[in-house]
Amino acid sequence: MELQESLNRISATNFTLDGKAYFGNVVMGAGNKSVILTPYTTSTLSVGDHKLTVSGVKDYAEFVSLNSTHEFTVVEDKEAPTIKEATATLETVTLTFSEDVDMDTVKASNVYWKSGDSKKEASEFERIADNKYKFVFKGAEKTLPTGKVDVYVEDVKDYSDNKIAKDTKVTVTPEIDQTRPEVRKVTSVDEKTIKVTFSKTVDKETAEKAGNYTITDKDGKVVSVDKVTVDSKDSKSVIIDLYSKVSVGENTITIKNVKDATKLNNTMLDYTGKFTRSDKEGPKFETVINADAKAKKVVLKFNKKMDAASLADSSNYLVRIDGTLQTLTDDVATLSVSNDATVVTITFAETIKGNDVVFATGKTSGKANVHELQVLGVKDTSGNVHDKFNGKDNIIDLTVGTTKLALAQIDKDYDAKYTAELVDRKTVKVKFSTVIKSASSNAFTSNTHKIDSIQVDGTSTVTVKFKDEIKTDGSDLNLVANLSKFVDVADNEGPVREETISPTTNLLDSVAPVLDGEPVVKDATITFTFSESLKAGGSDDVLATDLTVTRVSDNKDLAISDYTVAVNDKKQVVITLSDKREAATAYKVTVKNAKYIIDTSDKKNAIADFSKTTADKVQTDSTIGENTAAEALKVLNKAIDDKKATLAQYTAVGITKLDSTNFAAVNAAAAAVLADLNTAKTAVEGATYTLEATDTSVTAAAKVKAAVEALSAVSSKSFAVAVTEVSFSAANLEQLMVNINLLLN
């Protein structure tokens, strides 16, 4: 059957054949625009006229088609399929058959070309139409040669079980594929998974690089990518796993730098598009109980807008009274739905059949003991039933008494000790055991930061905004919650008690470490200091993938083999360069969507994005080597002077033949030589005299004589000096000094 549009789903129950229920396989054809029916009994489709009736078929918009009846004639088919057309690139062969072929008989291994006696079988295939298939040859060893080549096709059958002729082959001339890959479809598989389908097979290395994908939710917030993998069942598609959920509704994805798997590795043009995550999640609710003697009520607070009619329908609730489970009725309790349809309040009557209502188990004379409430088929506006509908979580025990207002676990994925979360540098969220209706202006106090506002949004989480920034690990924050200043949604006031929130006890750090100051260059290292302690979230090899290091002199991005990355205990990331630089150059370091350089918190927050260029240049290896050698020699000489020289210090300056047997003797000799050199240095420094304007011809001559004679102390030669008094004045001082220099030279 050929269809006018793609169908959502279809089954055997949608068909009757010749007035009888259809029994057989139902398979969707290419693009879901055709349906192939194969009856279980071959006699069902006997030669002659037949009638097929279709009913109840739905498209993707859930529209139901009208019933239709179609007449057709069955004729006996004895002709085997042939190849009508064949085209090829270096990586693909596209075959068009003379008729529709049975998809179950089409296999990648049945299409191949030969290199000598070796078969080069296709790796996978794609069904383009019911009679047209594209076969993909992946890997350099399977790429088709340039020029004419024979392609062989085996074992393909039509739906009448006629097989293609043995040794069928077709000659093709592969063309070089110069088309860029394009994004064909983006779908949300679930809340943390996205599938992207391209127009052609993609290069695994570039397609699986997480940095090539940026996802933002409906509020423009980036959703970090965990990993990307090429779909094992379809090399044109990738599966993107996310660290957190995308929004229900419209989200945005940007993709760049992905290449195809062809010889030329054609690169896609940058793509930005929208994708939608459907609302398939059942709503969640929190329960708040007020067991006050005069106003017994139960409040259900949902996390999304509900279908108001289902909330107000008393048949969606069961109540156990005096041990008997019954449907909630108007004489037992009244239902009140909030304007935004997120809250329903169930207020029980003061008496039932003349008996006072109490929240208790069993039976008591003169009392109506209300034990439990069960929530059944309430739905959200998308028709999703609440997530506690199945199991026992929809049963609310009313005998526990009034819900106690206290701090509660902020995130079930982390330790229960965390009752508050630092979500950004000016925001802390605090979790309570009950839905908060209101909070006074002094419900929170802090002696470390000024509070800007306290925000209550009708959930059990209250947001505190600050005027000034908090450190990224929250180490400078002290926050106190006064529980008596809060009122829950059932009008219960909190107890007279204060709870302190601090990073050492109950504050969950969800803020990324940020760069603190400018990068520091020393030899071949670049050091970055961050706002809090760091640790490595993987091996040294993967740490390097968090950074892009660009050599400014030639604007080249370094391969990760050209540098290493280490995290130390001083809140620092140290990059050690090993690239071959031709000259001293600055470097630009960029971090985007880091994953492996993380803070020491339980949340393991990766460092924040940044891009910084070093102010100082990194010298060439030869210059660094010379500077290092000079510094090492200076350290050794001082150590010898201080009589603290070590074997390692000699090795550092290139003296490598020392060991424990000769170290003492060599070290003593070196000390003696160094002492002589120091004496000579002192003598030379003592032989330095400066002629001044106040000198006379007598004093100037004496200085020259003393300077030259002092050289005897540091030379094997003797110097005899005869000085003739000369006319000396400030006016001819410059010429006199020139003459003295000539004399000494």
The SS3 of residue 505 is coil
d(CA 663, CA 159): 91
Query: Residue 93: how many CB atoms within 10 A of its CB?
Result: 25
b/e map of 108-122 (b: 16 or more CB within 10 Å)?
bebbbbeeeeeebbb
Q: Confidence class of residue 720 from pLDDT cuts 50, 70 and 90?
A: low
Count of alpha carbons within 13 angstroms of residue 120, beta-carbon side? 22
Same domain, 375 and 436: no
Dump pLDDT digits (tens) for 365-423.
999 999 999 999 899 988 888 877 766 778 999 988 888 899 999 998 899 999 999 99
- Residue 513, classified by CB atoms within 10 Å of its CB into exposed (0-12), middle (13-18) or buried (19+), is buried
Same domain, 544 and 590: yes
Same domain, 156 and 195: no
For residue 479, list its beta bridge partners: 501
Tell whether the model's pLDDT for residue 247 goes beyond 90.
no
For residue 297, list its beta bridge partners: 290, 347
How much is the pLDDT for 636?
82
Same domain, 251 and 230: yes
- Last residue within a domain, chosen from 152, 172, 192: 172
Tell whether the model's pLDDT for residue 461 goes beyond 90.
yes
Same domain, 591 and 547: yes
d(CA 479, CA 501): 5
User: In this structure, is residue 203 part of a structural domain?
Assistant: yes
d(CA 620, CA 626): 10
Dump pLDDT digits (tens) for 94-148.
999 999 999 999 999 999 999 988 999 999 999 999 999 999 998 888 999 989 9
User: In this structure, is residue 515 part of a structural domain?
Assistant: no
Please give the average per-residue pLDDT across 521-530, as a whole number: 96
- Last residue within a domain, chosen from 54, 74, 94: 74
Dump pLDDT digits (tens) for 176-208.
999 999 999 999 998 899 999 999 999 999 999
Same domain, 335 and 367: yes
The SS3 of residue 458 is coil
Helix axes 733-744, 697-710, angle to 10 degrees: 20
- Which of 24-28, 55-59, 351-355 has maximum average pLDDT? 351-355
User: In this structure, is residue 101 part of a structural domain?
Assistant: yes
User: In this structure, is residue 691 part of a structural domain?
Assistant: no
545/690: higher pLDDT: 545
Domain count along the chain: 8
Please give the average per-residue pLDDT across 472-491, as a whole number: 95
d(CA 164, CA 32): 25
How much is the pLDDT for 744?
44
How much is the pLDDT for 731?
53
The C-alpha angle 177, 182, 184, rounded to 5 degrees, equals 130
Query: Nearest CA to 605 among 530, 692, 498?
Result: 530
Same domain, 291 and 382: yes
How much is the pLDDT for 745?
39
Domain hosting 560: range is 520-613
Average pLDDT score, the chain: 87
d(CA 330, CA 419): 39
606/44: higher pLDDT: 606
User: In this structure, is residue 387 part of a structural domain?
Assistant: yes
Dump pLDDT digits (tens) for 266-279.
999 999 999 999 88
How much is the pLDDT for 723?
53
> DSSP secondary structure string, 588-606?
EEEE-S--SEEESSTT-PB
How much is the pLDDT for 738?
45
488/655: higher pLDDT: 488
What does each C-alpha distance from 368 to 319, 361, 624 come to in angstroms? 12, 10, 89
Query: Residue 618: how many CB atoms within 10 A of its CB?
Result: 24
Dump pLDDT digits (tens) for 640-676.
888 888 888 888 878 878 888 888 888 888 788 777 7
Same domain, 290 and 390: yes
Cβ atoms 204, 246 nearer than 8 A: no
CATH number at residue 100: 2.60.40.1220
Please give the average per-residue pLDDT across 447-472, as a whole number: 95
d(CA 695, CA 295): 110
Dump pLDDT digits (tens) for 308-342.
999 999 999 999 999 999 999 999 999 999 878 88
The C-alpha angle 142, 146, 149, rounded to 5 degrees, equals 75
Tell whether the model's pLDDT for residue 740 goes beyond 50.
no
Same domain, 527 and 600: yes
How much is the pLDDT for 137?
93
